[in-house]
């Protein structure tokens, strides 16, 4: 552990759209923010080439380039962007208390305010062919990528509400949606199952799993297997949407911050306030509903404003 302890006004952890937007606002409010980027500098959008729905880019943009723009904008106002992972926390529950965060097990930061924007990680099946074709037809976000498969045939994998929602969303854009459900029933709410059942261009295949995603550079189909009979079939599709859930990156906050049963941070009312005074949460880490870059950026702005007002209230 390093001997030096750094005291700062505003610490931001996570460098996705939420973190960088918080940084822009916090820096312009003179909170002199320091950001630790985590292992995935730029966040989830750096794993996609095409971002078509972020306002301000009429011709779309590349995810990595967009995050570089956001970083440059945050740095322009004085945000100090550092590479490192928050590995341990020790929060004060007092109003005006100091929050201690350890970075990479060695660096000690003491922060008057903390903005958590550590995002969420989409779960995948783990097949080699699936991992290879992420960005080439395999996606974990129908709202983000569905448009690219307009009029085409796709499969959705999953059995919960998210899978049912993704399937119905895609059914409005695509020619045909095949929903692959591993068990012989769906976990989605009855209402969502009903929506799926009454949508003509969704076919549900139960007891069915993906054996392999087919294609070398882009998806050309999937080989599916019936886990009861062992029977295999090729389904010709150009898009594969994996909808088996997300894991919020909140392990280090367990026991300190209020979370829901799946680990998403709980914020108060319409604010970004957590149960600890001076600790705020923005982006996908506190949002299992929308999970979009623009909503993450919006709550990043809110977190910086909440932090600035919190500090103001202490004076």
- Main-chain phi, psi angles of 307, to 5 degrees: -65, -45
Q: Catalytic: which of 141, 211, 258, 301?
A: 141
The site for ligand FAD (CB under 6 A) is made up of 13-19, 36-40, 43-45, 47-48, 51, 53-54, 85-86, 117-120, 122, 139-141, 144, 249, 252, 283-285, 291-294, 296
Q: Are 101 and 89 in contact (CB under 8 A)?
A: yes
174 is catalytic: no
**Whole-number Å distance between alpha carbons of 120 and 260:** 14
Which has the closest alpha carbon to 113: 2, 3, 4, 29?
Answer: 29
Least Å from the CB of residue 160 to ligand FAD: 18
Taking residue 48's Cβ as centre, other Cβ atoms within 10 Å add up to: 19
**Whole-number Å distance between alpha carbons of 58 and 64:** 17
Looking at the Cβ atoms of 15 and 272, the one nearer to ligand FAD is: 15
Q: Are 174 and 204 in contact (CB under 8 A)?
A: no
Coil/strand/helix, residue 214: strand
Least Å from the CB of residue 18 to ligand FAD: 3
Q: Are 146 and 52 in contact (CB under 8 A)?
A: no
Tell me the pairing of strands 80-82 and 86-90.
Answer: unpaired
Q: Catalytic: which of 145, 284, 287, 306?
A: 145
10 is catalytic: no
Least Å from the CB of residue 298 to ligand FAD: 11
Looking at the Cβ atoms of 225 and 243, the one nearer to ligand FAD is: 243
Least Å from the CB of residue 205 to ligand FAD: 25
Least Å from the CB of residue 54 to ligand FAD: 6
Looking at the Cβ atoms of 210 and 296, the one nearer to ligand FAD is: 296
CA dihedral 144, 146, 148, 152 (to 10 degrees): 170
How many Å is the Cα radius of gyration of the chain? 21
**Whole-number Å distance between alpha carbons of 285 and 287:** 6
Looking at the Cβ atoms of 87 and 313, the one nearer to ligand FAD is: 87
Q: Catalytic: which of 10, 90, 104, 144?
A: 144
Looking at the Cβ atoms of 225 and 246, the one nearer to ligand FAD is: 246
Q: Which residues are catalytic?
A: 141, 144-145
């Amino acid at each position: 552990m390093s001997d030096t302890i750094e005291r700062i006004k505003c610490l931001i952890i996570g460098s996705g759209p939420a973190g960088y937007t918080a940084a822009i606002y916090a820096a312009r409010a003179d909170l002199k923010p320091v950001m630790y980027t985590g292992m995935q500098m730029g966040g989830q959008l750096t794993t996609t080439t095409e971002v078509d729905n972020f306002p301000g880019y009429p011709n779309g943009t590349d995810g990595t380039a967009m995050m570089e723009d956001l970083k440059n904008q945050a740095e322009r106002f004085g945000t100090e962007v550092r590479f490192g992972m928050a590995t341990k926390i020790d929060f004060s529950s007092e109003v005006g208390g100091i929050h201690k965060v350890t970075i990479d097990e060695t660096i000690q930061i003491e922060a008057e305010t903390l903005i958590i924007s550590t995002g969420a990680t989409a779960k995948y099946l783990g097949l080699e062919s699936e991992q290879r074709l992420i960005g080439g037809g395999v996606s974990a976000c129908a709202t983000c990528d569905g448009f690219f498969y307009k009029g085409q045939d796709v499969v959705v994998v999953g059995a919960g509400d998210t899978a049912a929602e993704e399937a119905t969303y895609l059914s409005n854009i695509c020619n045909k949606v095949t929903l692959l459900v591993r068990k012989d029933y769906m976990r989605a709410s009855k209402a969502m199952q009903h929506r799926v059942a009454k949508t003509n261009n969704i076919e549900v295949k139960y007891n069915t799993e993906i054996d392999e995603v087919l294609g070398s550079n882009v998806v050309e189909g999937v080989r599916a297997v019936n886990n009861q009979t062992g029977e295999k079939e090729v389904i010709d599709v150009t898009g594969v949407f994996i909808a088996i859930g997300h894991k919020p990156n909140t392990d280090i906050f367990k026991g300190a911050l209020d979370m829901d049963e799946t680990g998403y941070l709980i914020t108060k009312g319409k604010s970004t306030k957590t149960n600890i005074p001076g600790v705020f949460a923005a982006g996908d880490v506190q949002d299992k509903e929308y999970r979009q870059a623009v909503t993450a950026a919006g709550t990043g702005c809110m977190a910086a404003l909440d932090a600035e007002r919190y500090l103001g209230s202490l004076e």
